[in-house]
Amino acid sequence: MKQPPLKQPIRCFLLVLAAGLGVMLGVARCLEPDPRGFGTHRQLGLGPCAFAVMTGRPCPSCGMTTAVAHATRGRLDRAWNANPAGALLAVSSVPLIGWLILCSWKRRPIGFRTVEGPLLGLLLSIVVVSAAFWLMRILGGPVYLAPTGAAPVPGPVQLAPETRKEGL
């Protein structure tokens, strides 16, 4: 059964998604990965992770910007250590960008019956990987969220002084 061609709004969405992934990789390449494995997002003017500030534990996306920044430099080992879901996102983005552009150009989903299936599959994979590794981090032992420039040390969870919430 022949598939109907993709409509113009869907084709535009695919191009916008491809451009967004390209911008993500470009911005990540311009950032210097934080040696702690998290905190690279601070170079974008963003604050510390609210979840980490409130709980002293990393959130599922802690280290994701660092992972993508490492992956754009070809350091997949460091990307995986920073955040496996971020490494998966970065590595899958390059072929995904090509696929999105090709689907838009050809006006049909290439290799699949729909464009939704593979996109939702990839999104679900990233969410599952993120949740699984986050649970392993949480259950695996103490995590040290060090101030910028400090080396991680074993011990109980500690937040950098600028991220500690008074009264906790």
pTM of the model: 0.78
- Reply yes or no on whether the pLDDT at 39 is more than 50: yes
- Reply yes or no on whether the pLDDT at 1 is more than 80: no
pLDDT of residue 52: 87
Q: What is the rounded CA–CA span in Å between residue 68 and residue 111?
A: 27
pLDDT tens-digit readout, 49-95: 898 888 888 889 999 999 999 999 999 999 999 999 999 999 999 99
Give the gyration radius of the chain's Cα atoms. Answer: 19
Which pLDDT band holds residue 162 (cuts at 50, 70, 90)? Answer: low
